[in-house]
């Protein structure tokens, strides 16, 4: 694509595997670990949307803890595991192709950034723990505007920072609602469809669907 000046990534589920925390505890949790992890993630996202609608903002880390509390009750997971699971969430593993793809993009002089629901301290720790701190030009958190995605004020953050046009940004997310939110705002939104899902029936579709980030270099 021509005239692209910045490539911006969602973090959770796009760069970092949100199931990796529970997976590392699967021997303790048992066969239900994946269903438990998916429920935790779904509840976490629901809480962000509901709190945005109610205008009752809590930061993402508190919401992560709240959604874990409910998920552990639903799946009858030992409550003594709470601290371990939260600690592991702070150091989620990146998907296998992430580091190589990011380094290639960096070599091609694209401005690279993260735009996430996570708090800045949580994202900084996640990036540095995975030795990616020298890759990103910026890490943007929704805490700058106090409302979660897909509110348009979130997508406005990098546009204001870089003083560029919306259509000069590629935005990548594995979350269909986030892809639609970014696309509706005016980004060139790309869906990272890691799990062969069906796109939601929302007004704005992605300009491109890719299986993982390896396919991004071919597209550019």
Q: Where are the alpha helices (DSSP H) in 25-91?
A: 26-29, 33-54, 60-74, 82-89
Positions marked catalytic: 10
Whole-number Å distance between alpha carbons of 38 and 195: 13
Contacts of 117-125 spanning 24+ positions with Cβ under 8 A: 117/12, 117/48, 117/60, 117/141, 117/142, 117/148, 117/149, 118/11, 118/12, 118/60, 118/61, 119/59, 119/60, 119/61, 119/143, 122/60, 122/61, 122/90, 123/11, 125/90, 125/91
How crowded is the C-beta side of 135, counted as CA atoms within 13 Å?
22
Whole-number Å distance between alpha carbons of 187 and 68: 32
Chain CA centroid to CA 96, Å: 16
């Amino acid at each position: 694509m021509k005239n692209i000046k910045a490539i911006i990534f969602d973090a959770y589920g796009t760069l970092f595997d949100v199931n990796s925390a529970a997976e590392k505890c699967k021997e303790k949790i048992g066969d239900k670990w994946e269903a438990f992890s998916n429920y935790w993630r779904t509840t976490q996202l629901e809480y962000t949307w509901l709190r945005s609608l109610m205008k009752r903002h809590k930061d993402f880390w508190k919401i992560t803890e709240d959604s874990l509390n409910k998920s552990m009750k639903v799946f009858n997971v030992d409550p003594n595991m709470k601290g371990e699971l939260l600690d592991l969430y702070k150091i989620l593993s990146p998907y296998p192709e992430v580091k190589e793809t990011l380094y290639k993009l960096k070599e091609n002089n694209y401005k690279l950034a993260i735009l996430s629901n996570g708090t800045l301290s949580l994202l900084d720790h996640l990036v540095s723990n995975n030795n990616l701190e020298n890759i990103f030009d910026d890490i943007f958190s929704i805490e700058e505007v106090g409302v979660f995605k897909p509110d348009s004020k979130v997508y406005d953050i990098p546009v204001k920072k870089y003083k560029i046009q919306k259509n000069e940004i590629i935005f990548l997310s594995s979350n269909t609602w986030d892809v639609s939110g970014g696309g509706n705002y005016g980004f060139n939104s790309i869906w990272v469809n890691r799990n062969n899902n069906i796109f939601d029936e929302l007004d704005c579709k992605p300009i491109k669907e890719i299986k993982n980030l390896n396919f991004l270099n071919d597209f550019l």
